[in-house]
Every structure is written in structure tokens, then in C-alpha cells.
Structure 1
Amino acid sequence: MPSYFSLLGTLASLASPGFSQDVSSLASASSSAGSSPSASSSTSVSLSTTFSQANVPTGTPLPGNYGGEYRPQVHFSPPQGFLNDPNGMFVLDGIYHLYYQYNPTANIAGEQHWGHATSKDLFTWTNQQIALFPGSEDEGIFSGSAVVDNNNTSGMFGNQKNGVVAIYTVNTLQRQTQDIAFSYDGGYTFEKYENNPVLEPGGTNPTQFRDPKVFWYEPTNSWVMVAAYPVDFEIGIFSSPNLIDWTPTSNVSRIGLSGLQYECPNMVEIRIDNATDGQPESRWAMIISINPGAPLGGSITQYLLGDFNGTHFVPDDALTRLTDFGKDNYAGQFFYGIPADQDQISIAWASNWQYSGVVPTAGEELGDGFRSAMSVARGHYLKNLPRQGLTMVQYPIGIKSIIESELASNGSLGNGSVLIDYSQVESGALYFEANITGLSGSDSLDGTLNFTLLSSVSGESVSGGMILPGDSVVWLDRGKTNGFDHPLFTDKFSYGALYDPNGDGAFRLSGIVDRSIIELFFNGGEAAATSLFFPTSPLDTMILRTAGLNETVTASVAVWSLKATWLNQADWNGTVLGNVTTNTNSTASRRSTKLF
């Protein structure tokens, strides 16, 4: 969760004269981080209640209108207000829990809470009541994580197997601390630990220590936390037997891109799909988000691969690897509870701090639209690629489960084009695949495969594709849409693609188009791009075109419409109420059964 809100205020004023924000309650000093923090050991198990802000509901989700032209239908977005970092994601009993940084009081970042939604398929989300509130008017509940304490290491859950512990940053003007809260109903309601904080920063900069990610490390039978010292460019690693008493074990310092601060760290073990002789079956990934200062401007996420022994992370190399070559993918987090031998699953914030507070999905008044959405859930594994070595592959996990109908399919396109009118698709959302197969070497790398998403009303478009000759390139261009004008809304992105002579002789491009967001995947996710776009009229036509291809290769394309997972929950007016049945009584909640 960034402390760099002064930048947002400046850009908001630049993009929208007279549009300002009061973020004094979240401002943080920008001095460097100090020494390792001290753990706040406590033997008490009593609990404290939460502070409820005026005009913020405590027992029911906020309603939201999910019918607007910019409102995604297969991506998660909040009912109203402002969303940023994904937080506390875990899976329990087949239900995926997504918490997120949420300001329910305005359409800009400011009064930070933890919003909450649940899903069985990672596409059909149910809005739940707000999970965590600030404890006082000068607090913000910043980013963090959640775990299932099924062995009751905390001593708080007795024989209960679904006790959930949230670990999060409390931000004030004076300091940032790591606090915890307990849920006795599987993650729907929380009670804060009375002896918070469990981890305090030491040294000279108590205002720069945040975003704890916690996971269980089986070999040492302990919990591990990674947390950021943002402006000192360090990631602290801590260990605990019980989620309450924490011991610092090591720091990872000044590695990869620095930007102006580190944020939202993550640690996850990921399997290797095509391990070579002598290569282990998995590696650990340390994910670090930086903002501002990304190569494309604003915020971006990078990852390092290496070895982890429960206390120290040692990177395999000094390479900087980016999770996304677009500009709208930040602060990605992985779900707790996915077995190590399965593809790990992440969700990221689909926006950029350079303009997230002024995009045209919302007006100035609360309830007038929403701001920000999440990426779709992505599955991950590691793959050895030519020249690049181990790379984190990411793909839209389960996307075909929400296909509504096939709009077009051509298995032998050759050099030609396919036009699809999707103006009657209720969701306005598509999934497409375009493949070039039969490549036999560099001499067969001729031609292009491109797509255009077009408005039949205004002529605006989003386009992209693959250029095969020479150093092959995957590209994306959102510059021909006119609904949002901002000096930092960069419009063109590209990725250099290498042909693998030992591969399957194919280049593949797939994508999800969802009203105002596109996610592009090259070769099954060897590279990915996330990009927002804002036309003045909805895009309703798709053209897929191949040209100049060698006669020895084959081109195939397919396009499907996707279900309107949000509108399917809405009333006649487009309003989604969410789960309004949740019991908020703290005593009753320990024994009540929640709906998903």
C-alpha cells in the first residue's frame, strides 16, 4: 500500500482541475527505513473490537451498479468507491477469499479498509461485508495477508480447523505496525487482537514498514513473514511459531529494480514444468512491487527466483524479471492454501498509481461509479526458455469455464481475416486464441498476426498482435481510444519474443477483452500484458488478420463470448447487493455458517 499519495494528489489536479483529495490521514514521512523491528510478545489472548466509521456499513456489503459501459464483467471490481492492492487471499473448503485495499468513502485512495469478496470459480464473485475497519479516525488498514491456522498454532481456535488469521499493516502519521485479527467463521468477520501490534518497526523510520505476507514453512514447522522497508529497498524476513511472536531472521536488500520504494512483497514456491537434468523440481519466487519509478512509469511488479531455507532467501542470479509488459498490473499476491505441486494462483491490481485516481470509471461523488478492478486469476509455473532461462509462466486459469458461446473459428486461416460482430454479447467480454503453427526455424518467421477491437459507432480501437520476422515482437496499442486523456496514460507496449527451435514450432496469442480492460498472453503465458482502455463508445467489433505468412505454416483463430458474471447477479437496474445475510454479532459469528 503506497505512502506516495502526494503524487496522486498532484496528478489528480493535473488531469482534472479542481479535483483534489484530502489524504492527510494516510500521509507518511519519506525518510529511510531503520533497523530490524522488534516483536511485540504477549501472552494475553483477549480481543478488541473495531472502530466503525460514520456512513460505512458494518453488517452488509455496499451495493453497486455493475451495468456501466466501463464496468468489467469477468474481472472483480468493487461495488463503489476505490480499490487497490489485493490482500489476504486464501482458499478454504473450495471457496476463494479475496480481500482488497478499499476506500468505501470516496472514489480516491484515502480511508483504507479491507474489502472482501468470495468465489468458487475465480470469476463469479460475491461481495461480502467489509472485513477490517480502521481502529480510529487517524488509522488506515493497509495491505497484508491471511492464513488458515488449521493446527491452532496461535492458541486462539481450540479444535476449530477453519480459524483464519489476518496479518496487516496499521498506518498512522507516526508509524506503521503489523497487527493481526482472528476470524472464527472462516474469514467473514474478524476480531482484532487486543495486544496489537505484534511487530513494531525499530530504528529511525517507524513510518516505513508494511505489507506483510505470511505463509507456513513446513521444514521448520514455523510461520514466515516477508515485509517491506520501502524507502530503504529492503525486504525483511521473520519467523514465528504462533503468528503472535515474531523474530527477524534476515533481510534482502537492494536487488532488482528499485524505483523509489519497495512494496507488497510475496514469497511462493513454484513448480518447474520442464526441469533439466540436475535442476530442482521447484524454485522460490520473491515478488517485489515498486512505485513510483517503473520503466514504463509509475508502478510495476518484478520477481526474483532462488532458494529459501526458512530464514534466508538467496537469488539464483541478478536478473530482473517483470510479471507484465503492460502498465496496469501491480501488487500481485498469491493465494494461501494452494499445494506446492500445483500451479500457484495470483491476482493483481489492474491499474497504475500514475492515474488510478482519475480514470473515467467514476465521478467525484461516492456512488457515481467505481475505481479500479483486479486482474483475472492467473495460474503460474516456471519454464526454461531459450536465452532467458527460468521464467514464470502465467495464464488465465479456468477461463474456458465461463465461455458462453463460440463466435468464430477458423482452423486454416492462411493469409486472411475474420470479422466478429459482438455488439449483442451481453457481457461485452471476449476470449480469443490465435495460433501460428508449423514453424520450422527462422526462415519460416515471416508475416504478422494482428487483431483490432473496434467501435462501430466512433471508430475508436484497441489493437495488438505479433510481428514474426527478425526479432519477433508482441505488441499492444490502446492509443486510439478517446475516453481518457492523461499525460502519463502511455499507449503502446511491446515484448521481444524468441523462437524456440526445440519447442513445438508455434507462436500463440490469446486474450481476454472485458469492456475497459484487456489481458494479453503470449505462448500460453510466457509473457503477459494488462492494459486499461476507455473508448467514448463501446468496442463491439473484432477483426483478426494474418498477412505475409510463409506458405509452410498454418494460422488458426477462435473467438468466444464470455458470461456476464456480474450482470447475472444484478436486478433490473444493474444493481448487485452482494451477500446481505452475514451475521455480524461477534459471539454468534463464531458458530454461524456463512454463505459464499
Structure 2
Amino acid sequence: MSLPARDLAVAWRRVSCQNTTSSATSTYSQSDVPTGTPLPGNYVGPLRPQVHFSPPQGFMNDPNGMFLDADGLYHLYYQYNPTDVVAGNQHWGHATSRDLYYWTNQQIALFPGGPNEGIFSGSAVVDVNNTSGFFPNQTNGVVAIYTLNTPERQTQDIAYSYDGGYTFIKYENNPVIPSNSTQFRDPKVFWHAPTEHWVMVIAYCVDFEIGIFTSPNLIDWTPTSNFTRHGTLGLQYECPNLVEMPMDGSNSTMWLLWISINPGAPLGGSITEYFPGTFNGTHFAAVDAATRLTDFAKDNYAGQFFGGIPGGQNQISINWASNWQYTNVVPTGDEGWRSVMSLPRENYLTNLTRIGYALISKPYNISRVVESELAYNSSLGNGTVFVDYSSVPSGALYFEANVTGLADSSSVDGSVNFTFTSSSTGESISGGTFLASGDIWLNRGNTRWENPYFTDKFSATGLYDGAGAWRISGVVDRSIVEVFLNDGELSASSVFFPSAPLDQMVLSVKGINEITTTSVGVWALSSSWLEQGGVNGTVVGNITERGNPTVARGVKSFQ
């Protein structure tokens, strides 16, 4: 991750952490940042999403260290400034979930070591076989690998956790990868079983290189290869991922290298691109030279895949749903927080007609938060569905429209369009798809927040593959919309900021061929955050004794 320079001079206090197998180590925290307890957050504001993750207060950006533990609990860490609603003062925030929708805010996991340090992006792994030597009597020890940022350099450090990832002790012999560069960051680490070693991918940012390192123990690292100057360069590479995932229609897997670029995205600011290919434990080779983007809108960056999911299964990702061009000034700061994560996404690779290799990215198990059906018509044909959802507490909806019975390309005609509107102000967001051209579009321009970089219209083009169906679906959640074409062949993530809540939806189908059938549905989504809040909407998070989590009143237990 990259940040603008800012004054980090603050009052600091020293906190000692004891560990049972080594001498005392130290961490630091600011006087106004709590240790050992999560920060509370108010989740009732009109712009606060209810099925997406956002921080309790302060500023959040890149997801970090995501993994699924042996007990089925998902851990999400994230770049976090707990003292302001702008980027800087980097800690690792932490939240956990059983289903990736109902989150529990945990205490801050990693703190900088002084006023000129930042805990930048990285990853976390479960060291099941104790390769590090930190965990002689357990199989659930967690090692965090992160970039320590100072004005002079960026180095790669590690910290270890005896309690499953809630509290960490910094390794006394850090850094594990020294550096004199200020542009060397964002390590992503995973275990490569065929070669029985750990692998790290990391960005040499302004050199447009992804370095690949290996290690037997998470401490001693050896550089093995570089992946250099592929795709859209922008002005720097950041936040790489290398992950094995299924190839649709076969029993084989492929590898995918994921690189975020900022600034310099085609639409401005930040975006993520990906490269399918092969990996032998030390070298990655892309299948071709094509540039493939993860999103056709502007708010999808620095995503991470959860560790702990076998390569033969569909992989799960979460992305930061913002853009560095305007993230520090969006109006959610008036509610005491800034930035939101994308929906959890289910991912696999496929081979699309004419296009070739493509990443499928669609909502993961959205049925988990479906609360009630608001509208459904299995044979709408050419028609319109109107939904008043002003009484839905979450203000969040899932919708889909399926055109089936298509034959050859001559039958592919018509359009499906949607509009979400505020009944009090007339503000709206809208989108849709034209079947004949394959175009999908999204417009957030009819809301009243303006910024010179806040591009308002987006589009992309898909191709009909002759399979007889065309589908558009999406989730709208107070101040973020995510739209998907054909089960995730294309997707768009976009924040928006109306001055009053959107509360009405119109979904219309026009010009569809008479031999086809159109089914549409709209569902209200439940709110994980409203269920956790007290009488004033404040979510207190998980009150934890180290290694023995307990949950405060009103908060869902993850036990």
C-alpha cells in the first residue's frame, strides 16, 4: 500500500507483552488507541453499509492477512488508522466471521513501534507444522508477515501469535528481509506443498517487478525469480497475490498472479489486474501477455485471497472498495468512519468464448443474508417490477434478472435495466445490460456528492456464448453497489453517496425476444451490524481475554 506523507507525531506510550518462551518484547500504542479491547463503532448512519464490512471508526484501506483457521473461522485484518478518518498511522485492525457477512470486531492486532513507523500491508499464515520454531506445543500458531514502513526504508518483518491470531509478539530479530528501499512492500505468503516450502510474492513497486522468495521457516528468505513489467503498469505495482484455483470444466487447477496498480489505472487512481499461468514453486509464467482487470468500475483495489482454502476449491477474496483519488474526502467521514470492503467473492478461472482465460468473481453465498422476498416473477417477459423497500431496516437488497431460452445470436435482443431512487430527493443510481451488444453499464452520477475524480459512468462488454441464457445481478447496500454479469464474468464495484437514503427500485425488461423467458427477483438482506448494536446503535465488538474469547452483550458469538 502507498500513502501520502503526513505528520505522524503523536503521544506514545509503551506497553509490555510477555511470552512464555522468550524474553519480554515490546510494542507501542498511542495514548488514544486501546489495547486488549476493540474500538466501538456506531453502525446506524445512513451511509453505513449493512452487509459489507467497514471499520468501527477511523480509516480503513487494504485487507491484510486473511486466512481460514481450522475451526472454520475467517480472519480479516486490514490497514487501519484508529485515530482519524484519513489514511496514515497504520495499524492492523482485525475482525472475524463464520460466514463472511456477520463480522465481529476484534482488538487491534498489530501496532507500530513508534511515531515514525507504520505497519503496512502483508499476510498471515497458520504454521501448522511449526516450521518457524515459535510453536513447539501447538498446531494453530499464526505468523504475520508485513511491511514495516519508516521514512528511511521498507523492510519485511514478522510477528507470531500463540492465541490463534488475536495478539502478536514481534520477532526480536526483525527484519527478516532487510532493505534500503522505500518502495518494497506488501508480502503475500503461502505454503507450497509440492516443494515443501513457504513462498512469498512481494512488490518492488516503482521497478514494476513482483519478487518471488522462498523459505523453509518464515524467517530465512531466498529470492528465486522476478515477474517483471507485465500488463498495465500505472506508476507502481502493489499488493500482489499468487493463488492456485480451479479451472472450470476440468479437474485441473491453474495459478493466478494478482497485482494492484496505483496510481495510473485506466479510469484513474487504483485498480487490480490478474494473470493466469503456471507456478513451479520458484517461478511464475503467465499464459499470455493480455491485460485483464478485475473490475470495470473504480472501487476495487488491493484485494486478498483467504489462505487455508485448498487450490482445488473455489477461492474466496475480499477487496478494498475505494480509490486513492478520493478515499480521504468521501462524506462517510462525517459519520466517523471511511472505507468499506467488497462483498466476499467466490473465484475460479474459466475459458470464455473468444476472450480466453477469465476470472469468475461473484458474491459468495449471498443466500446467507437473504431475509425476505420482496418481488419475484418467473415469467415477466417485457415488463416492469417496482419495489418500495423503505421499510427494510438494512436498506440493502439483492436482485437478479435471468433471460433464458435464447437460441442463436439472432434471438439475443432487448435490455434489462434497474434504477434505485431516493423518494425524498430524487437521487438515483442506475445500470443495466443490452443483450445484443453484450454491454453492461453503471451510472452513479445522479447522486449529489461531487469530486473531480469521482467518475460517474462505467461500462464493459461481454459475449453471448450460445448457452441460452443472459443474466444480470447485484447488491445495493446504502452507499455501495456491486453488479455482476453472467454469474461474475464481469463485475463492477462502486461507492456512491446520496444525501438521503435510496428506498425505491424499478427493474424493467424491454425488447426481449418473444421466444425467451425472463425471471426477476428482489430480496431484502439482513443486517449483521444492526443486530449487534445496542440501544444507540453502537457495536462494542468482542471483549476478549487472551486465548479465551468471550462476547459482549448483543454481539454474535463466533464460538
TM-score class, shorter: over 0.9
* 1:304 is the counterpart of 2:275: yes
Tell me, in whole angstroms, the C-alpha distance in 2 between the residues paired with 1:541 and 1:51: 48
Contact 1:211 1:265 in 2 (8 A): yes
Equivalent residue number for residue 475 of structure 1: 441
Structure 2: how far apart are the matches of 1:311 and 1:96? 28
> In the TM superposition, what are the counterparts of 1:109-128 in structure 2 within 5 Å?
109-128=87-106
Q: Which residue of 2 aligns with 1:52?
A: 29
Query: How do residues 277-426 of structure 1 correspond to structure 2 at under 5 angstroms?
Result: 281-363=252-334, 368-426=335-393
Deviations 1:104-134 (A, max 9, x none): 0100001000000000010000000000000
Check the 8 A contact 1:436/1:555 in 2, yes or no.
yes
Distance 1:435 1:47 in 2: 60
User: Which residue is 2:113 aligned to?
Assistant: 135
Equivalent residue in structure 2 for 1:488, among 444, 448, 453: 453
One-letter code of the match for 2:43?
Y
- Give the conservation status (yes or no) of the 8 Å contact 2:9–2:115: no
Output the CA distance in 2 between the equivalents of 1:217 and 1:128. Answer: 30
Whether 1:498 aligns to 2:463 is yes
In the alignment, which of 518, 524, 532 is matched to residue 495 of structure 2? 532
Matches within 5 A, 1:34-45: none
Mark the runs of 5 or more structure 1 residues left unpaired by the alignment: 7-20, 26-43, 584-588
Whether 1:442 and 2:409 are equivalent positions in the alignment is yes
Contact 1:273 1:381 in 2 (8 A): yes
Q: Which amino acid aligns with 1:309?
A: N
- Cα distance in 2, alignment partners of residues 593 and 459 from structure 1: 46
On the 8 A contact 2:447/2:497 being kept in 1, the answer is yes
Checking the alignment, whether the CA contact within 8 Å between 2:542 and 2:550 is kept in structure 1 is no
Distance in 2 (alpha carbons) for counterparts of 1:182 and 1:460: 49
Partner of 1:150: helix, strand, or coil? coil
SS in 1 for 2:397: strand
TM-score scaled by structure 2? Answer: 0.95
Q: Within 2, Cα distance between the matches of 1:54 and 1:576?
A: 22
Equivalent-residue separation in structure 2 for 1:23 and 1:526 (angstroms): 42
1:441 CA drift (Å): 1.6
Q: Is the 8 A contact 1:361 1:369 kept in 2?
A: yes
Give, in whole Å, the separation in 1 of the partners of 2:355 and 2:9. Answer: 44
Deviates most, 145-154 or 49-58: 49-58
Identity %: 65
User: Cα deviation per residue 1:55-76 (whole Å; 9 max; x = unaligned)?
Assistant: 1001111111100000000000
Runs (4+) off by over 3 Å: 21-25, 44-47, 591-596
Number of residue-to-residue matches in the alignment: 541
CA RMSD of aligned residues (A): 1.4
What CA distance in whole angstroms lies between the structure 2 residues aligned with 1:439 and 1:488? 40
Report what 2:166 is aligned to. 188
- Structure 1 position 45, deviation (Å): 6.4
Deviation at 1:22, TM superposition (A): 3.6
Q: What secondary structure sits across from 2:296 in the alignment?
A: coil
> Paired residue for 1:13?
none
SS at match of 1:220: coil
Indicate conservation of the 8 Å contact 1:46/1:194, yes or no: no
TM, length-normalised to structure 1: 0.89
1:90 to 46, 67, 71: 67
Residue of structure 2 equivalent to 1:70: 47
SS at match of 2:410: helix
Any conservation in 2 of the 1:45–1:194 contact (CA below 8 Å)?
Answer: no
Measured in 2, the distance between the counterparts of 1:594 and 1:310 equals 41
Counterpart code for 2:281: G
How far, CA to CA, are the matches of 2:55 and 2:350 in structure 1?
34
Equivalent pair of 2:145/2:157 in contact (CA under 8 Å): yes
1:563 aligns with 2:526: yes
Q: Distance in 1 between matches of 2:399 and 2:225?
A: 45
Question: 1:201-280 residue pairs with structure 2 within 5 A?
Answer: 201=179, 206-275=181-250
State which of 118, 140, 148 in structure 2 corresponds to 1:170: 148
| Structure-2 change in CA distance of 1:593 and 1:419 (3 Å) | closer
In structure 2, distance between residues paired with 1:355 and 1:344: 30
Whether the 8 Å CA contact 2:240–2:260 is kept in 1: the answer is yes
Determine if contact 2:65/2:122 at 8 Å carries over to the other structure.
Answer: yes
Structure ranking higher in strand proportion:
2
In structure 2, stretches of 5+ residues that fail to align are 11-20, 552-557
> What does residue 77 of structure 2 align with?
99
8 A Cα contact 2:62 2:78, kept in partner = yes
Distance between the aligned counterparts of 1:445 and 1:24, measured in 2? 61
The Cα shift of 1:593 comes to: 5.2
In 2, the alpha carbon distance for the partners of 1:372 and 1:245 equals 36
Shift of 1:592: 3.9
SS state of the match for residue 453, structure 1? strand
Match of 2:17 in 1: none
* Residue identity opposite 2:451 in structure 1: H
Q: Evaluate the alpha carbon distance shift between residue 389 and residue 570 of structure 1 in structure 2; reply closer, same or farther with a 3 A threshold.
A: same
Give, in whole Å, the separation in 1 of the partners of 2:191 and 2:181.
27
Q: Distance in 2 between matches of 1:264 and 1:54?
A: 30
Is contact 1:185–1:593 with CA below 8 Å preserved after alignment?
no
Q: Corresponding residue for 2:125?
A: 147
* Equivalent residue in structure 2 for 1:519, among 462, 465, 482: 482
- 1:507 partnered with 2:470: yes
Q: Following the alignment from structure 1 to structure 2, what is the Cα–Cα distance between the partners of residues 489 and 147?
A: 36
Paired letter, 1:90: F
Contact 2:25 2:172 in 1 (8 A): yes
Q: 1:409 to 1:165 in 2, by over 3 A?
A: same
